[in-house]
């Protein structure tokens, strides 16, 4: 009985969500310019879960202008959430001064939410770039190689903790500027030189061929389709977050 009730609740929630999407799709299709813009904003904010309804409306529409607006919404969602993934760089809700942000303790959170309907395998590393108020790159004060020399008869990929994120789940980890350990090639550290606004630019990128190039080409597991490096999504995605650092 409880299982049946849970199933009914899930179905009602899905129906309610689809009805909500349909309401905003109606605005995009036939509302005023202001309503069209509002409907588009809401649907883009809803993201991946709204895509099936948007694509269904796109297939059924014969109006060129409506189709163009719907195609723009699809493109915006896919750019924001590639493969249904929402990347986020979260800063603490507190006053950040130089001493705090330059401390080795974790100061921000990197997360990935799988908003799609299938599990995904991902490379667990990110490239971080720090920009000052003038858009100039702030160079790290420390950079130490992660992997060392190429292995003989094997591959460093066996030591990579690939991520597998189920639908609806979130992966997250804490990080700091002074001791950034999420870079694929090195352990990196920054010490911001002065107070002011900075931009943290976080780039996720996985190139399968490039990752495998450092391995022994004769290694028998290298091209095994079951291995995580052969199942991981190949994509590049960048997000930015502004942080205002107090003296």
- Confidence check: pLDDT of 28 > 90: yes
Structure confidence at residue 233 as a pLDDT band (50, 70, 90): very high
Structure confidence at residue 1 as a pLDDT band (50, 70, 90): low
State both tokens at 210.
């490039």
- Determine contact, residues 124/161, Cβ cutoff 8 Å: yes
d(CA 137, CA 147): 25
Label residues 217-234 b or e (16+ Cβ within 10 Å = b): eebeebeeeebbbebbee
State both tokens at 132.
């000052």
Q: Give 72-136 as a DSSP string.
A: HHHHHHHHHSGGGEEEEEEPPSS--BHHHHTSSS--EEEEEEE-SSS-EEE----EEEEE-TTSP
pLDDT digits (tens, 9 = 90+) for 136-189: 999 999 998 876 554 555 789 999 999 999 999 999 999 999 999 999 989 999
State both tokens at 176.
């700091």
Dihedral in degrees, nearest 10, Cα atoms 185, 84, 208, 227: 100
d(CA 139, CA 149): 25
- Confidence check: pLDDT of 198 > 90: yes
Mean pLDDT of 3-31: 65
**How confident is the model at residue 152, as a pLDDT?**
54
**How confident is the model at residue 6, as a pLDDT?**
38
- Confidence check: pLDDT of 8 > 70: no
Eight-state DSSP code of residue 232 = S
Structure confidence at residue 5 as a pLDDT band (50, 70, 90): very low
Q: Which residue has the tokens 């401390």?
A: 103
Q: Which residue has the tokens 């309610």?
A: 16
d(CA 129, CA 148): 23
pLDDT digits (tens, 9 = 90+) for 68-102: 999 999 999 999 999 999 999 999 887 889 999 99
- Determine contact, residues 147/187, Cβ cutoff 8 Å: no
State both tokens at 22.
């349909």
Residue 175's φ and ψ, nearest 5 degrees, are -150, 165
Report the Cα 201 to chain-centroid distance in Å: 12
**How confident is the model at residue 92, as a pLDDT?**
84
What domains lie within the chain, and their CATH numbers? 2-80 (no CATH), 84-245 (2.60.40)
């Amino acid at each position: 009985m409880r299982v049946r009730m849970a199933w009914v609740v899930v179905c009602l929630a899905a129906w309610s969500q689809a009805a909500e999407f349909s309401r905003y799709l109606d605005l995009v299709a036939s509302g005023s310019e202001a309503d069209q813009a509002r409907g588009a904003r809401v649907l883009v904010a809803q993201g991946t879960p709204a895509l099936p309804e948007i694509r269904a409306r796109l297939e059924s529409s014969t109006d060129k202008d409506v189709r163009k607006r719907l195609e723009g919404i699809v493109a915006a969602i896919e750019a924001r959430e590639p493969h249904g993934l929402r990347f986020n760089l979260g800063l603490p809700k507190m006053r950040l001064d130089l001493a705090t942000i330059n401390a080795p303790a974790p100061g921000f959170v990197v997360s990935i939410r799988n908003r799609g309907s299938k599990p995904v395998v991902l490379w667990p590393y990110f490239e971080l770039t720090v920009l000052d108020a003038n858009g100039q790159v702030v160079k790290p004060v420390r950079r130490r190689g992660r992997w060392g020399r190429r292995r003989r008869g094997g591959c460093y990929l066996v030591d990579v903790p690939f991520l597998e994120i189920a639908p609806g789940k979130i992966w997250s980890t804490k990080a700091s500027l002074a001791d950034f350990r999420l870079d694929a090639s090195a352990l990196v550290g920054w010490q911001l030189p002065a107070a002011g606004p900075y931009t943290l630019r976080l780039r996720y990128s996985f190139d399968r061929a490039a990752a495998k190039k450092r391995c022994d080409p004769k290694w028998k597991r290298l091209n095994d389709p079951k291995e995580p490096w052969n199942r991981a999504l190949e994509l590049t995605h960048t997000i930015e977050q502004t942080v205002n650092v107090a003296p």
